[in-house]
Amino acid sequence: MTTLRQRTEELRRRMRGASRGGGEAAIEKQKATGKMTARERILAVLDSGSFHEYDLFVEHAGKDFDMDKKYFPGDGVVTGTGTINGFPICIYAQDFTVAGGSLGYMHAKKITKIMDHAMKLKVPCIGINDSGGARIQEGVNSLAGYGEIFFRNTQASGVIPQISVILGPCAGGAVYSPALTDFVFVVDKISKMFITGPEVIKTVLGEEISMEDLGGAAVHSEITGNAHFFATSENECFDQIKKLMSFIPWNNTKKADPFPIKKPKNKVFKLTEIFPTDSKKPYDVRLVIKAICDDSDFFEVHERFAANIVVGFARMNGQSVGFVANQPMVLAGVLDVDSSDKAARFIRFCDAFNIPLVTLVDLPGYLPGIDQEHAGVIRHGAKVLYAYSEATVPKITVILRKAYGGGYIAMCSNHLKADFVLAWPTAEIAVMGPEGAANIIFRNEIQNAPNPEEARKKKIEEYKEKFANPYVAAAFGYVDAVIEPLKTREFILHALEISAQKKEDRPVKKHGIPPF
Amino acid sequence: MKNSKKSEPNFRKLTVLGEEYTTLYTRKYENRKPHKPADHKKLYSFIPGKIKDVFVEKGVAVSPGDKLLILEAMKMDNEIIAPVAGTVKKVYVVSGQMVAKNELLIEIS
- Alpha carbon of B47: minimum distance to chain A alpha carbons (Å): 6
Contacts of B27 in chain A (CB under 8 A): 222-223
Please give the interface size between A and B, counted as residue pairs whose CB atoms are below 8 Å apart: 85
Q: For the whole model, what pTM was predicted?
A: 0.93
Task: Output the pLDDT for position B5.
Answer: 53
Contact A305, A221 (CB under 8 A): yes
User: If you average pLDDT over residues B8-21, what whole number do you get?
Assistant: 90
Which among B8, B28, B35, B46 is the top mutation candidate for probing chain A, defined by the most A β-carbons within 10 Å of its own β-carbon? B28
Tell me A68's DSSP state: G
Whether pLDDT at B35 is above 90: no
Confidence of residue B2 (pLDDT cuts 50, 70, 90): very low
Q: Where are the alpha helices (DSSP H) in A364-481?
A: 370-374, 377-390, 405-410, 434-441, 443-448, 452-467, 471-475
Sign of the torsion formed by the C-alpha atoms of A492, A496, A497 and A503: positive
What gap in Å lies between CA A238 and CA B23, rounded to an integer?
34
Contacts of A404 in chain B (CB under 8 A): 17
What gap in Å lies between CA A448 and CA A442, rounded to an integer?
10
Whether pLDDT at B4 is above 60: no
Give the orientation angle of helix A337-352 with respect to helix A377-390, to 10 degrees.
20
Contact A198, A239 (CB under 8 A): no
B80 against A63, higher pLDDT: B80
Query: Searching chain B, which residue's CA lies closest to the CA of residue A281?
Result: B22
Cβ neighbours for A380, distance < 8 A, ≥ 6 positions apart: A336, A337, A338, A340, A341, A515
Which among A284, A308, A443 is the top mutation candidate for probing chain B, defined by the most B β-carbons within 10 Å of its own β-carbon? A308
Beta bridge partners of A91: A80, A126
Task: Output the pLDDT for position B1.
Answer: 42
Would you tell me which residues 33-62 of chain B have a C-beta closer than 8 angstroms to some C-beta of chain A? 33, 35, 47-48
Of A409, A413, A411, A456, the residue nearest A437 (C-alpha): A456
How do the pLDDT tens digits run along chain A, 516 residues long? 789 999 999 999 999 988 888 889 999 999 998 899 999 999 999 999 999 999 999 998 888 888 888 888 899 999 999 999 999 999 999 999 999 999 999 999 999 999 999 999 999 999 999 999 999 888 899 999 999 999 999 999 999 999 999 999 999 989 999 999 999 999 999 999 999 889 888 877 778 899 999 999 999 999 999 999 999 999 999 999 999 999 999 999 999 999 999 999 988 999 999 999 999 999 999 999 999 999 999 999 999 999 999 999 999 999 999 999 999 999 999 999 999 999 999 999 999 999 999 999 999 999 999 999 999 999 999 999 999 999 999 999 999 999 999 999 999 999 999 999 999 999 999 998 888 898 899 999 998 989 989 999 999 999 988 889 999 999 999 999 999 999 999 999 999 999 999 999 999 999 999 998
Task: Output the pLDDT for position B6.
Answer: 60
- Alpha carbon of A164: minimum distance to chain B alpha carbons (Å): 25
Q: Is B76 on the interface with A (CB under 8 A)?
A: no
Of A466, A340, A470, the residue nearest A411 (C-alpha): A340
Confidence of residue B37 (pLDDT cuts 50, 70, 90): confident
Partner-chain contact B17 A432, CB within 8 Å = yes
Confidence of residue B9 (pLDDT cuts 50, 70, 90): confident
What ipTM was reported for this prediction? 0.83
For chain A, list residues whose CB is within 8 angstroms of any CB belonging to chain B: 204-207, 222-223, 280-282, 306-308, 328-334, 338, 364-371, 374, 404-405, 432-437, 439
Query: Strands, DSSP E only, in A97-166?
Result: 125-129, 162-166
Contacts of A364 in chain B (CB under 8 A): 16-17, 19, 21
Of A491, A500, A355, the residue nearest A422 (C-alpha): A491
Q: Is B25 on the interface with A (CB under 8 A)?
A: yes
What gap in Å lies between CA A19 and CA A392, rounded to an integer?
47
- Alpha carbon of A36: minimum distance to chain B alpha carbons (Å): 32
Q: Is B12 on the interface with A (CB under 8 A)?
A: no
- Nearest beta carbon to residue B17 from set A223, A331, A404: A404
